[in-house]
Structure 1
């Protein structure tokens, strides 16, 4: 688990505005309203969620909030949201994680606030040279089991997608009964894919977009002859919060209800952070400074902890 404590207002002007507002609030007796508040993130170790969380954290920090980021897998993120130990998670992939999320929504433990990314895709992927050799759907895999060494490469243990693959193998769906799921971190999985594609070896793995893998590798997502969560599936990514977020942090709730990202934007974030190996803080700050109009839309009606315009605070922080 990674834990990051963050400080806000790196810009002297923004610090001055915040200090002035705090002094004024103190003089008028409104000290409590001026105190900074904390927003706690649960972040799955996926590049898209990492940068998307970082962008939102920087905007909230400019508005006077402190943010804490915990790197957690999906089950632990959902547990933290349910127990109100976390305030937001931006990696609610549907339908891949619906079996884990929906019961908590129905039990009134978490809220599926908004779709922060639409038009995503996930499923079993192969290089196009494998597709061209005859592997177009899940039902084609076992015919070439020897070429694949009967292995499908997955991501971190505990993910719903991994569970779906294990169930498919156990139930011999798509004739995968003798196959093996190889679980590892996303970085390790993609390193395996990279080595395979360089040699034009055959490899089947968990792919998704937006992600830099779709820019770097020429991929084909396998179709399925029946309903299958591990095959080519259109996906939507939701923002998840505890049920009491609106009551505790209405400003934060408003911001996240408006925080939606286009697939091409997130793909670019992922490419810069994961493929070009740039720190997420650097990628986020550069993008915010270059896209004030999109930031303005996200911050419409959102104020700082002191009741001022959040967008004006961001302008001061980033020199816009």
Structure 2
């Protein structure tokens, strides 16, 4: 019996008192959208394993960001772990205001998301959004984004369309996260310049010689795009599925944890489930904290993991 199986067998302990009523049948299947970003893919993979071991079935579907919020608002998806704010305000705020989407928790309180530049450009004076147009030739009139429909891409397109910061002659190169990183890493190897969407947590902050640009406060928020990541759900989710809502409200991450999860995938181990499983094995106290006040789907109390009671330390 391996270590993972051992603690999973110890995860639930039957008790004759204090049982919660089982949730609505609809709650038994938790539908989780995945927009393809490595950080959200990995936090979703971790959540999926935990959910499975406390009696829930899960379904993950790859979707664009606009599709994700529409699906949540229409009740076709249940929970999304990747609501970056304020960058995604235009996509999600109308649904939050109407109650068709609800915020459950801020799962990562301090992150960053804005435009960045490779070191040669920064060292030459490209340090602000307003500087980009002055180096049009060195940049090849290009700004590198990620997948089509992403809110960051939409903001850059708006700047180009409206000639904000003098960007009227630029082109946004849309790609996947990996596609964008491949472009930028190749530029770095060749000693060339590149302006691109950057964020942390992400291993790019260690792999690239990069700096974040000032001056984008009206688009990405102040302090170089300082942001937070929220867990959001379809409207009415917490009332219908209180046990699940408790779990997702308990489920928070750290930059160090997410960097560890992402690095293991990006540096060669593409088996996301194996990476998530190993991280869970190495972080029993974190998982115990997530399970405080949470029961098995059937209403059975959860005693702890790895021989620990929730909140207990070794």
Cα gap change, 1:33/1:199 in structure 2, threshold over 3 Å: closer, same or farther? closer
Match of 2:45 in 1: 54
| 2:275 counterpart of 1:275 | no
Q: Among 189, 214, 224, which residue is 1:223 paired with?
A: 214
Inter-partner Cα distance in structure 2 for 1:17 and 1:166: 49
Question: How far off is 1:218 after superposition?
Answer: 1.8
Inter-partner Cα distance in structure 1 for 2:94 and 2:23: 37
TM-score when normalising by structure 1:
0.86
Note if contact 1:65-1:305 (Cα within 8 Å) is conserved in structure 2: yes
Match of 1:191 in 2: 182
Matches within 5 A, 1:155-166: 155-166=146-157
Note if contact 2:23-2:241 (Cα within 8 Å) is conserved in structure 1: no
Match of 1:97 in 2: 88
Inter-partner Cα distance in structure 2 for 1:16 and 1:36: 24
Inter-partner Cα distance in structure 2 for 1:33 and 1:93: 30
Inter-partner Cα distance in structure 2 for 1:210 and 1:16: 33
Question: How far off is 1:244 after superposition?
Answer: 1.8
| 2:72 counterpart of 1:81 | yes
Cα gap change, 1:132/1:37 in structure 2, threshold over 3 Å: closer, same or farther? same
Match of 2:131 in 1: 140
Q: Among 256, 281, 293, which residue is 1:264 paired with?
A: 256
Inter-partner Cα distance in structure 2 for 1:32 and 1:190: 43
Note if contact 2:108-2:253 (Cα within 8 Å) is conserved in structure 1: yes
Which range moves more in the overlay, 220-229 or 297-306?
220-229
Match of 1:6 in 2: none
Cα gap change, 1:43/1:225 in structure 2, threshold over 3 Å: closer, same or farther? closer
1:155-182 deviation per Cα after TM superposition (whole angstroms, max 9, x unaligned):
0001111110011011111110111101
Note if contact 1:304-1:310 (Cα within 8 Å) is conserved in structure 2: yes
Matches within 5 A, 1:16-31: none
Question: How far off is 1:15 after superposition?
Answer: 7.2
Cα gap change, 1:41/1:275 in structure 2, threshold over 3 Å: closer, same or farther? same
TM-score when normalising by structure 2:
0.88
Inter-partner Cα distance in structure 2 for 1:185 and 1:32: 38
Match of 1:4 in 2: none
Task: Give the RMSD, CA atoms, in angstroms.
Answer: 2.7
1:31-84 deviation per Cα after TM superposition (whole angstroms, max 9, x unaligned):
999999111101110000000011111011110111100111111111111111
Note if contact 1:84-1:242 (Cα within 8 Å) is conserved in structure 2: yes
Matches within 5 A, 1:175-190: 175-190=166-181
Note if contact 2:46-2:280 (Cα within 8 Å) is conserved in structure 1: yes
Count of aligned pairs between the two proteins: 299
